Structures are given as structure tokens and as C-alpha cells.
Amino acid sequence: MAEDTYRSVQVERVSTMRYVARNAAGATLPIGGDGFTPVELLLAAIGSCTAMDADVVISRRTEPESFTVTVSGDKISDDTGNRMTNLAVTFDVRLPEGPAGDQARTLLARTVKLSHDRLCTVSRTVELGTPVTSTVTD
């Protein structure tokens, strides 16, 4: 059986500069207004992708005392148009003392690197680049 590779979301206008994104499972996310901006969503997608990769590995060993991922960058406009530069993902994870925490600490660094290099679809797509097509239907 072939793997299902197709992914999609719908973004529907609610009012001027306010939208709601909806996925196939029916989850919704406000965009604009009091919600996230599209750039913030991009940053959140990058951070949460690697966070999920890391979380699944370390949580098998121990429960983190705290787990925060900060994603930052500079939004610039130059002769190529608007874009983000200097993207950085910073993990601030506190793990308990003891053998399980020590093992999780070792795996955290390794997993974050593996996520960056191979696993995180979002940051891999941003780094490698992929064409985006836009179509208007009747």
C-alpha cells in the first residue's frame, strides 16, 4: 500500500485581515487580528516540528521539568522581496537529575541535530527550498 503523502489546510477569511486555518481533522487556528501572523506561524511550525521530534525521544526516558523552544529570525525586504533570514531554533529544556535525566540530556542534543538534518519536514523544506504555485479558481 502506498504511503499517503498529501497534506492540506484550508484558510478561510472571517473578516478583514482575519482568517481561520482548518485541517482535515477539524482543528482550527485563528490567523491575523488577535491570532498569529503568517510569519509567526512559520516560526511556530519550525519550532514545533523539532520540538515534537525531541519530545517523543526524551519523554520515553523522563518527564521534562520544563520544555520551551524559541524560534527567531529577521524579517527583511530587499531586491528579492520579503523573506526571513537568520532563523534560529533554541531549546531550553530542564531535565531531572539522575540516570534517566542524564540519558535524556544526551539524547536531546542528538535528536535535535537529527531533526534538523533529516526528520523535521518543515525546517528541511525551508532550508532546501521548494517551489510554491498559486492558482486562482473561478
Residues 30 and 42 in one domain: no
Which structural domain range is residue 19 located in? 1-36
* 138: in domain: no
Q: What is the pLDDT of residues 25-35, one digit of tens each?
A: 999 999 999 88
- Give the pLDDT confidence score for residue 34 in this predicted structure: 87
128's grid cell: 532546501
- Angle CA 125–131–132, to nearest 5: 100
* 13: in domain: yes
Around Cβ 134, how many Cβ atoms within 10 Å?
Answer: 4
CA distance 77 to 57: 38
Q: Which amino acid is at 91?
A: F
CA distance 48 to 64: 16
Residue 58 has φ and ψ, to the nearest 5°, of: -75, -30
The CATH number of the domain holding residue 88 is 3.30.300.20
CA distance 24 to 135: 21
CA distance 70 to 54: 14
Structural domains in the chain (count): 2
Contact 71, 44 (CB under 8 A): yes
Instruction: Give the total residue count for the chain.
Output: 138
Residues 42 and 23 in one domain: no
Residues 28 and 42 in one domain: no
85 Cβ contact partners less than 8 Å away, ≥ 6 residues apart: 73, 74, 76
Q: What is the pLDDT of residues 60-110, one digit of tens each?
A: 999 999 999 999 999 999 999 999 999 999 999 999 999 999 999 999 999
- Give the pLDDT confidence score for residue 2 in this predicted structure: 62
Residues 2 and 16 in one domain: yes
- Give the pLDDT confidence score for residue 3 in this predicted structure: 77
> In terms of DSSP bridges, do strands 81-94 and 9-15 run parallel, antiparallel, or are they unpaired?
unpaired
